[in-house]
Every structure is written in structure tokens, then in C-alpha cells.
Amino acid sequence: MRGPHNLWRLIRTGATFERTGAMRSALEAMNVPPRLRFVARVMGWPFAWLGHKGDPSLPPVTRAITALGPAYIKFGQILSTRPDIVGFEMANQLRYLQDQLPPFPTEQARATVEAELEQPVDALFSEFSAPVAAASIAQVHRARVRETGEEVAVKVLRPGIVKAFRRDIDAFYFAAGMIERLLPSTRRLRPTDVIAHFEGVVMGELDLRLETAAAAEFAANTEDDAGFRVPRPVWDLSGRSVMTLGWAEGVSLGDNDAIDALGVDRTELGERVLELFLKHALRDGYFHADMHQGNLKVGAGGEIIAYDFGIMGQIDEYTRRVYAEILYGFIRKDYRRVAEVHFEAGYVPADRDVEEFARALRSVGEPIFGMEASRISMARLLNYLFEVTERFGMETRTELILLQRTMVVVEGVARSLNPSINIWRVAQPVVEDYIRKSLGPAALMRDLGRAAMVLSRFGPHLPGAVEAALIRVRQPQTPPPARLSLAPVAWFIAGAAVTWAVLVTVLLV
């Protein structure tokens, strides 16, 4: 229920950050203005005793996030790939959230497997290990299939995880609604729609049958991609709460020392991560949308091995072309064309000035191209981009949220391998290849052929549809019936509690 009782959860969120010392650490790492830091500390101190204690052995921010639950851990995983936003020290601390969370007992995992697959674990597997990795949603066990002898990874959902996520998302909805009411200027960002999108993604991640299907589709799409591998799913040993994949041996993409020990060139590896993501997004319209280091390994031969397919992104062909043209325009420094694409796609209201928007984009792009990559402050860049989108009335595009978020994560992963990587130089050949194949004469003929096929299917209905439309046009327009206008219900919440909740939820959403 998305009622005011969620205010307690939001207050406790802030109180947990204050009690664990995470509030100070987070605000300092993200270079929050001193005045806001002071307000946060003053407002947080009286509530600190209400917060969760967490694990004292963990660093403050990691301690607070793990104490708050799985939805918060998802946000922490994203930040763990952005040392340019939170700093290298905190990013390294947050990597704990990727696959090193406390596991639940193996006995519970075995019970879940038996209930899901309706057979004893020992009848299905000749070996079934203790947990080898644990994350926010599930944990993984190494096993061997009794019938075939194949070595596999068995992923098992955490007990009670669905209920825990619903509770957190319920609080996020309340936070988004309160932000829209108290801060009308944020409505263009569509906080409620963003949370609804997040809910859809996460709830899909909690059904491992969907993840199994995603793994199979992603493996089929990428089987010819050099230097990339996706373990194949074992369908008869998978279900809603259990998924079985072929075992993938390798070192974590976040362990630079281990990668160096393999003799793999990290510069080339970082470029390959970016290239593969762009190929999957532009070529296939279907991409791994949770590509942090905890979900990627490096094999003995230097190949990148992907796993954990609970969050996959999908974009239609038109959106892919828009995205490619925007990237291509930035690469060529053709800011006028970038601006035009935004207007053509409806991303910017038509009443705004295209020339002025182009100049604003230039002010964003030029400093990036003229600066050494390792010196670019992504936090400052994102802040300026936010100002530009606000100035031109751009609304959040929920269909692009996963794409944008994944691009940020992938860039962070690539920079962890090579801090000086030039993402525009790496992206250029991939984007140019897509542009050539999707926007040239051959693509035009292909589009016309598809349009003809659609018209041929609906051809018998066209005369009737045209006739009905003409009849509606000729009929006199009758005014709509009057509607009863109800004034919105006034909200009255204690001043300190409201300020606290807004502060916390702005940081989260």
C-alpha cells in the first residue's frame, strides 16, 4: 500500500545513513555543496537512533546499503562502477555489493531446488557446493549434473526476496509521489514513471524462467561475436526460483591484478567491453543491462564471459537509429544535427529554439573532446546535463532509462580497466557501421519493403477504415460532458519529517 506509512521507511533510510556514518561519507564523495551537507547533518542527527545498525565490519556506505535491503543494493551496484562520481575508494568499497553479500544457508538453497524441480538435489546433481557468490537477488552454487557429468552453475533466489523488493518499491513509489507534489519542477523527470519502470525490470528479474529465456536469446544473438561468450542454460534444471547454466571459469573483470596475471591487455579489454555493448544495443536491440564487474569474467584465453541475465534491455529499431544519430553527431561534433534529432524524435518540446539547443549541446560536448579522459569529472558533466535538460523542458524517456544507465555502467567498467580510455574513439567505428547499414539506400529499400508487407496484411481493412474516418470527420462535434472537478487533498506532514524525506528521496531517485 503506497500510503503515508512509507514516510517512516524513508525517515529510517536517512536515519540509517546517519547512524552508520554513511551520510557524511556519501555527501563528501559526491561533492555535495557544504550548505546541503550541513542541512543533512542537522536534520539527521535527531533521527540517527532510529536507523539500522548494519554490519560494523563494513565501510559506512556499504554498511548502510546492505542494512536497508535489496532495492538499495541495486543502486549501490550502479555507483560501484562510477569512481569518477563517488571516488575510487568508495567505488572499491561498493564492489562488495556485486557478488560478496552474506549468503543464506546451503540447506535453504537445496530445499528451494527440490521444491522447484520436484526431485531430491542428490538425484539431480552428483555435486552441489556451498555458495560461491551471493548478490542482492540470489546466490550461486557450483554443481555437477548427475546424468551428463556437466559442470554447471545453479542460481537460487533468496528466500523472501519478492516480498522484500515489493516493500522497498512501495516506499519508492511513495517517495516519487511526494517529490512530485512538493517539488513540482521535478515532474518533467517523471519520478513515478521511473519507479514503475524500475519495478517492471526488477520483478522480471525475480522470475528465473524469464532470465533463462533471456540467456538463451542473448547466447543465440552473440554466438558469432569474437572474444565474447555466454554460458548456455540447462532448461530441464531451471524454473521460477532456480536457474542452471553451464559453468564459466574465469577471473572477475574487476580484478585488474588477476587480469594482468593472465597476460590480457586491459586497454584492449576495456575497448572490447564498450564495443560489444554498442553492437548489442544497436545491432540487436537487445543488450545486457546489468554489466557491472560482478557479472563479467575474463576467461583464460582473454574472452569476456557474461552471466546474470535478470536485467536485459530492449529498444526498437527507430529508437536505435535515433540513439546512433545522436552518438554519431557528438562524434563528428555536428551539434546542429544532434539538436535536430532531439526535436525530430520529440525529446525536446517543439516550441524551443533548435539553434539555442545546439549551442547548449556544444557547451557539453566540446570540453569532453578537449580534455584528457582521466581528468573529466563525470559528476560535473552530469550536473550540467541536468541543467540543460531542465532549461529546455526535456522529460525523462522511460524507454531509454536502461540504455542510458547501462551506458554509464559500461563506461565505468571500461575506465576501471583503462582510466584514459577515449569512449568516443572506441564508439566511432561501431556507430558508423550501424549508420551505414541502417540509414543508407539499402536500409531505405528494406523499410519500404516492410511497410509494403504491413499494408498488404491490412489491405482488406483499409477501405472500411478510411470510410469510417471520413464519416467521423463529417459528423458535428459535440462538446464532452462536464466533469466534476475535485480539488486535490491537502497534505499536512510535520516540517522536519517532510524535509528529511525529501532530502533522502532526492538522493535515491
Q: Identify the DSSP state of 80.
A: T
Tell which phi-psi region holds residue 438, choosing left (phi > 0), alpha (psi between -120 and 50) or beta: alpha
Calculate the alpha carbon distances from 90 to 25, 79, 137, 178 in Å. 9, 9, 22, 30
Q: Are 408 and 82 in contact (CB under 8 A)?
A: yes
Choosing from 290, 334, 351, 447, the catalytic residue is 290
User: Can you tell me the distance from the alpha carbon of 13 to that of 72, in angstroms, rounded to the nearest whole number?
Assistant: 10
The span from the CA of 429 to the CA of 22, in Å, is: 42
Active site residue 290: yes
Amino acid identity at 206: L
- From the CB of residue 453, how many other CB atoms can be counted at a distance below 10 Å? 9
Q: Which three cell numbers stand for residue 485?
A: 472537478
Q: How far apart are CA 305 and CA 426, in angstroms?
A: 20
The residue count of the chain comes to 509
Torsions phi, psi for 313 (to 5 deg) = -100, 145
d(CA 197, CA 139): 25
Do 509 and 172 contact (CB within 8 A), yes or no?
yes
Grid cell 480539488 is found at 487
| 327, 131 Cβ separation under 8 angstroms | no
- Give start and end residues of each alpha helix (H) in 223-289: 256-262, 266-279
Catalytic site positions: 290
